[in-house]
Structure 1
Amino acid sequence: MQALIEVILPVFLVIGLGYVLVWRKFLNDSAIDGIMKFAQQVAVPALLFNALAHIDLSTGFDPKLLLSFYAGAATCFTIGLLGARYAFNRSWEDSVAIGFCALFSNSVLLGLAITQQAYGTGDALAGNYAIIALHSPFCYGLGITVMELVRAREAGTSMARLPATVLKAMFSNVLIIAITLGFLLNISGAVIPATFQSALDMLVRTALPTALFALGGVLYRYRPEGDLRVIFFVCALSLLLHPLITFAAASWSGVPEAGMRSAVLTAAMAPGVNVYIFASLYQRAQRVAASAVLIATGLSVFTAWFWLSVLP
């Protein structure tokens, strides 16, 4: 109960405030879109750039931690894709979008926020930042590649343009650009001048609160529509199977305590808003994606609570 009150509840109160203010018409969609745009394209990229510029690459990027998390993510994507196709009789393109819903955890707005609230900053978040650094490249790379393969197969077109399509989609993402620049600065050993670092720190402090608030406003637009069986299938993969695989793999491979917490808590988070963006990009399974984000975000209160009570 203490974990729920002290760790999880503050995060969801900020999300809930955004939801209520839009519901009661205090803020309109354009205001929330502006806040979300600031969070996603300015504040959160600043947070990731700053984190990757200063992280200890020798300790943060533990291959066992990353393998544990991404083995779970890839397994859920595969089961989601095949389950949607063969158990729910969706088209191959719909099935890829549904698999992507089970693949893309909300690693920043929920995973990072809850881990920080529970365990503090600094070394406690090194595993989170390592996961986040590879998250968009891995998930978008996998999702776009499989979707383009499916579309090319059905259309009977050449695969020669596939690498360029995947790279263009990935490196037009501002989060990936910020992560890449942070890596390069870290490797170069260059130091950010104090004045610029102070300004960057100010932006970083706004990232999670504004993003969580905007997430609440955005979630108000989503409705639990579409095939509820598919939606709860996605929720089960995202909230139950992914953290279970991650926990088992991390325990077996001997991931250190802090890394274990980061990996499992991130794996236990709901699908991120990016799954709806991916579904909209290809005009496939949009209602399932939107509803899965809404319902799983609510259910993640309980999965986060459970794992906080299990993890050291």
Structure 2
Amino acid sequence: MQALLEVILPVFVVIGFGYVAVWRGFFTSQGVDALMKFSQNFAIPCLLFMAIANLDLQASLDIRLLASFYVGAASGFAVGTAAAFYLFKRNIEDSIAIGFCCLFSNSVLLGLAINERAYGPDALAGAYTIIAFHSPFCYGLGITAMEIARNRGQSPLVMVRGVARAMFRNVLVLAIIAGFVVNLGGIPLPGVLRDGLDLVIRAALPTALFALGGVLIQYKPEGDARVIAMVCAVSLILHPAITWSLGTALAVPKDVFQPGVLTAAMAPGVNGYIFANMYGRARRVAATSVLVATALTVLTAWMWITVLG
């Protein structure tokens, strides 16, 4: 109960403020869209850039952690896609979009906030290690699968171009790449630039959480209930369970094991809807899954924090 009150609920209080503010007309949906653009296109890229630029890669880059998390993520994508196609009889493009919702956990907006409150700022190194590869891995897998499905019979070069174009238009991917360049190249950043970035970074998580609440009110709880239940089960139970099992088997150090499993236990991110909207596939299921799973995270994150200790 203490974890629920002290770790999880404060994060959802900020999300709730955004939801109520738009619902009651104190804040416009256009204002929330602007906040979300600021957080996703400026503040969070600054956060990720500085986190990767300052990350001790030798100490934090644990292959066992990455293997346990991303095998779980890829398994979720495979299970979600296969279930949508074979069990729920959706077409292959819809199935891939639904599988992407199972793949892309909300590692930044929810994951960082809940991990920091659960385990403290020092525990975020493991979360940042996962986040460094999260967007490239998830978008690379999802876009590759979708481009193969959409361009059946065309040359591999067309598919490669489609994947590369989508990847390098993603500002989060570009920020992460820039952070690695600075880190690996030993490039010093001027103090005035660091101070300016720090000012923007302080606004990143609270602004993103408030905007997430305002965005969620636009999504209505409708669509195929069975498909949505499947997405929630894969995202909130299967992915972290695989990460926990593999991490235990591989003896992942506790200081990165706990944030890794908790990150895997986050609801599908808004990127799940963005991906579905980008291809015009399964948009209603994706939007509703984000809304329902985010609400359920209050309980499932509490459960996983209790399991992890």
- Give TM-score scaled by structure 1 length: 0.98
Amino acid at match of 1:279: A
Counterpart of 1:149? 148
Counterpart of 2:178? 181
* Cα distance, 1:157 vs structure 2: 2.8
* Cα distance, 1:308 vs structure 2: 1.0
Amino acid at match of 1:40: Q
| 1:203 aligned to which of 200, 205, 208 | 200
Give SS of 2:179's match: helix
Once structures 1 and 2 are overlaid, which stretch shifts more, 58-67 or 191-200? 191-200
Q: Distance in 2 between matches of 1:168 and 1:58?
A: 31
- Which consecutive residues of structure 2, in runs of 5 or more, have no partner in the other structure? none
The answer to whether residue 227 in structure 2 is matched with residue 224 in structure 1 is no
Counterpart of 2:32? 32
Counterpart of 2:166? 169
Q: Distance in 2 between matches of 1:150 and 1:11?
A: 38
Amino acid at match of 1:149: I
Q: Distance in 2 between matches of 1:200 and 1:151?
A: 40
Q: Distance in 1 between matches of 2:104 and 2:18?
A: 23
Q: Distance in 1 between matches of 2:267 and 2:249?
A: 25
* Cα distance, 1:159 vs structure 2: 2.8
Counterpart of 1:5? 5
Structure-to-structure mapping, 1:29-108, within 5 angstroms: 29-108=29-108
* Cα distance, 1:237 vs structure 2: 0.2
Give SS of 2:203's match: helix
Across the aligned residues of Structure 1 and Structure 2, the Cα RMSD in angstroms comes to 0.8
Counterpart of 2:248? 251
Deviations 1:82-130 (A, max 9, x none): 10001000000000000001000000001111001111113x1111111
* Cα distance, 1:158 vs structure 2: 2.7
Q: Distance in 1 between matches of 2:205 and 2:71?
A: 27
Amino acid at match of 1:264: V
Q: Distance in 2 between matches of 1:12 and 1:128?
A: 19
Deviations 1:36-60 (A, max 9, x none): 1110011000000010000000121
Contact 2:77/2:100 (8 A) holds in 1: yes
The answer to whether residue 252 in structure 2 is matched with residue 234 in structure 1 is no
| 2:259 aligned to which of 258, 262, 268 | 262
* Cα distance, 1:262 vs structure 2: 1.3
Give SS of 2:151's match: helix
Contact 2:151/2:159 (8 A) holds in 1: no
Q: Structure 1 runs of 4+ off > 3 angstroms?
A: none
Deviations 1:260-289 (A, max 9, x none): 111100110000000101001111000000
Amino acid at match of 1:139: C
* Cα distance, 1:160 vs structure 2: 2.2
Amino acid at match of 1:278: F
Q: Distance in 2 between matches of 1:73 and 1:113?
A: 20
Amino acid at match of 2:127: N
Q: Distance in 1 between matches of 2:148 and 2:279?
A: 13
